[in-house]
A and B are shown apart, each in its own frame.
Chain A
């Protein structure tokens, strides 16, 4: 078995350490591939840990089951949050940086010892965070994701969280060195779009990490009694730089993966380099301002501060997302039309490789992120509407739509892709692999919508072990929401089974899958191969299918917006 595992890190490299990927055509160096695999595998382990706790958390909130007592619920919730929102995501993101840098640019990974040190630091601190959460004892409380001061949370937790951020920074260094070397070697050349997206992801990550070190450092100083008091408002401002910033890294990394995989398995092209790159630039300047939407119903912040920041300065970042929302499907549409596969309005879409789990995962990620995550993010990010969403289960629904649906699905697609192309293993079950994105996206989508409804229509709070059938010490309860929770509970179980399917295929294929031979991966490629040129320039192709889809998206956006504002104006008068 051990030989089988070490074998996972081997491929046939030439004497210079490079090999050419039969699917992407990229020149891949041994060093880059080894570390992409290492970080990717570690991410999957975090996903398994977080997923186990997802089950316990969901089965507690479904009060019919009522699995855990409050005394353990918050511990399990914290484990769920840290392993999925942070560890699964960040380990994947480092892998994505190594794909977006060295692999795309055809370079070796520089500073491999630093990459190794980063990985060790991240693993040790991730275990440390888990240990500190699991061993929480009164008067300390479980930190959840936010560890809001002055709630007493163990200083070990803050210390380990800081160490993890430092580890991620160390692990990202080889990526930045790659970009630096590339630009020094070829100053006049433009970076490929994927490398550019990865670079923007990296910069946003640095901003988030600095905020995180400041926030947790401040809290740690207070816990160690270097300072007498910790101000809740100061901490919240600092914390959300990382708390929301990490999720912005996820978003930008996810969009980079969208461009990459729709191209490789769907034949997508870049319909306008100028427009897509401008959208990444908008993210660079504005996306972190979106963190302000956590502070919209906090005391002591002026209305103008709230409005300017939560709008990402006139919706600069939301505009950027709407640009990608067009550019990604348009890329598929044009790519397929130039292969002669695009009859009618949606022929390019109906003829797409829906049985390819990588393509299906990416497409569902795009659709569900846009319709469920993106729209709700903007709507709940409006200062006044936020009053109806803040800290309700609807906010939990929003970030499950962005992170658990959007990013996780994209990353699942990427892991499947890596299993086939870098680990060079066949899926142990092609059927289970095909089923995975459908099962996970479908079930998680419904569970997520139920969370939103429970929050918006019944005001069910987040972060409680129970309140729906029973608020202890009161005759009042939110029992009217019980049917929603029945649907939520069932689909949460199904979504977790979808996740089990994913892990079974990914890990099972690594351990028991047949080695890929010459030509075995041809089924991943779009019809007609990766390169196709219809003779016309890209912008001259018809994009009316995408345009129609975007109009549908806009109609749903407008309807959700109007509905939420209608619900708000039904309220009694509040504020000035």
Chain B
């Protein structure tokens, strides 16, 4: 009797394991190691890794930086054209400060994201292909710098995907990516 409701009899540790079960253990084990290695390897050879660098900065100071950046940027009717490779975005209930912004394809930008108040979610997708989307968490008191290079010109929509208050769903902004 091998019942889960009764103590196993005798030397249960040395009972043989069925051949099929052993084979499955092998398959599952190899798969586990395999997906671990792929995930680790992708940080070396892959193009999409959500790491970047982070700085501790008070929300007021971050707001200051965004506003300095906005002053330095060129204000066009399609949005701000960043003065260099840095793009600053400040999340606040219920808007994205610094958006819309006009960017070029093929150029690497350092995105600076941070929040002035609570946590938000930075969720971007191009209008043309909604299945291409990324989602990053935005903290207050933190400046996260993450590089991005766009290869397709399109309008990229930013919406907040972390609950930040009652008006949360209205939190929308755009990145206009043009042929560089």
Chain A residues with CB under 8 Å of chain B are 24-26, 70-71, 74, 104, 141, 144, 148, 150-151, 189-194, 229, 231-233, 259-260, 263-264, 268-275, 295-300, 302-303, 307, 311, 314-316, 318-319, 322-323, 326-327, 330, 378, 382-384, 386-392, 456-459, 461-467, 471-474, 476, 478, 480-481, 530-531, 533, 537-544, 546-547, 550-551, 554, 557-558, 561, 565, 567-576
Q: Is B67 an interface residue (CB 8 A)?
A: no
Q: Which A residues touch B123, using CB under 8 A?
A: 391-392, 459, 461
Shortest CB distance B22–A (Å):
9
Closest to B52 in A: A575
Q: With A263-B5, A307-B39, A327-B21 given, is the CB distance from A384 to B46 under 8 Å?
A: yes
Closest to A393 in B: B161
Closest to A69 in B: B166
Shortest CB distance A7–B (Å):
28
Pairwise interchain contact B48-A573, C-beta atoms closer than 8 A: yes
Pairwise interchain contact B39-A383, C-beta atoms closer than 8 A: yes
Additional 14 contacts, C-beta under 8 A, given A463-B168, A561-B35:
A70-B167, A141-B166, A270-B4, A319-B32, A383-B50, A390-B136, A390-B137, A461-B123, A530-B3, A543-B18, A543-B21, A547-B24, A550-B24, A575-B146
Q: Is B87 an interface residue (CB 8 A)?
A: no
4 closest A-B pairs by CB? A461-B161, A315-B32, A459-B133, A299-B144
Q: With A299-B139, A383-B50, A392-B135 given, is the CB distance from A473 to B36 under 8 Å?
A: no
CA A554 to CA B4, docked complex, whole Å: 26
Q: Which of B9-34 contact A (CB under 8 A)?
A: 12-13, 15-18, 20-21, 23-25, 27-29, 31-33
Q: With A319-B32, A574-B50 given, is the CB distance from A539 to B16 under 8 Å?
A: yes
Q: Which B residues touch A539, using CB under 8 A?
A: 15-18, 21
Q: Which A residues touch B52, using CB under 8 A?
A: 299, 575-576
Q: Which A residues touch B139, using CB under 8 A?
A: 232-233, 298-300
Q: Which A residues touch B3, using CB under 8 A?
A: 192, 263, 269-270, 530-531
Pairwise interchain contact B135-A387, C-beta atoms closer than 8 A: yes
How many residues of chain B are within 8 Å of chain A by beta carbon? 85
Choose among A260, A298, A576 the residue that contacts B137 (Cβ–Cβ < 8 A). Answer: A298
Chain B residues with CB under 8 Å of chain A are 1-8, 12-13, 15-18, 20-21, 23-25, 27-29, 31-33, 35-36, 38-40, 42-43, 46-52, 54, 108, 113, 117-119, 121, 123, 125, 127, 130-142, 144, 146-152, 157, 159-170, 172, 174
Shortest CB distance B133–A (Å):
4
Shortest CB distance B123–A (Å):
6
Q: Which A residues touch B161, using CB under 8 A?
A: 390-392, 461-464
Choose among B15, B108, B138, B146 the residue that contacts A537 (Cβ–Cβ < 8 A). Answer: B15
Pairwise interchain contact B118-A151, C-beta atoms closer than 8 A: yes
Q: With A303-B51, A384-B46, A538-B2 given, is the CB distance from A322 to B28 under 8 Å?
A: yes
Shortest CB distance B31–A (Å):
7
CA A274 to CA B24, docked complex, whole Å: 15
Pairwise interchain contact A70-B141, C-beta atoms closer than 8 A: no
Pairwise interchain contact A151-B119, C-beta atoms closer than 8 A: yes
User: Which of B108, B130, B148 has the largest count of A CB atoms less than 10 A from its CB?
Assistant: B130
Choose among A190, A389, A538, A574 the residue that contacts B147 (Cβ–Cβ < 8 A). Answer: A574
CA A557 to CA B163, docked complex, whole Å: 31
Pairwise interchain contact B49-A194, C-beta atoms closer than 8 A: no
User: Which of B117, B123, B166 has the largest count of A CB atoms less than 10 A from its CB?
Assistant: B166
Pairwise interchain contact B4-A263, C-beta atoms closer than 8 A: yes
CA A388 to CA B166, docked complex, whole Å: 25
CA A350 to CA B28, docked complex, whole Å: 26
Choose among B35, B121, B133, B148 the residue that contacts A573 (Cβ–Cβ < 8 A). Answer: B148
Q: With A274-B12, A547-B20, A573-B148 given, is the CB distance from A471 to B131 under 8 Å?
A: no
Shortest CB distance B3–A (Å):
6
List, sorted by A's number, 16 A–B pairs whose CB atoms are closer than 8 Å.
A192-B5, A194-B4, A232-B119, A270-B8, A275-B21, A299-B54, A314-B32, A378-B35, A383-B39, A384-B50, A391-B161, A459-B125, A471-B159, A530-B3, A539-B18, A576-B52
Pairwise interchain contact B4-A326, C-beta atoms closer than 8 A: no
CA A515 to CA B112, docked complex, whole Å: 68
Q: Which A residues touch B4, using CB under 8 A?
A: 192-194, 259-260, 263, 268, 270
CA A561 to CA B38, docked complex, whole Å: 11
Pairwise interchain contact A300-B25, C-beta atoms closer than 8 A: no
Shortest CB distance A536–B (Å):
11
Shortest CB distance A480–B (Å):
6
Closest to B59 in A: A150
Pairwise interchain contact B130-A457, C-beta atoms closer than 8 A: yes
Q: Which A residues touch B157, using CB under 8 A?
A: 476
Q: With A390-B137, A463-B162 given, is the CB distance from A382 to B13 under 8 Å?
A: no
CA A148 to CA B121, docked complex, whole Å: 12
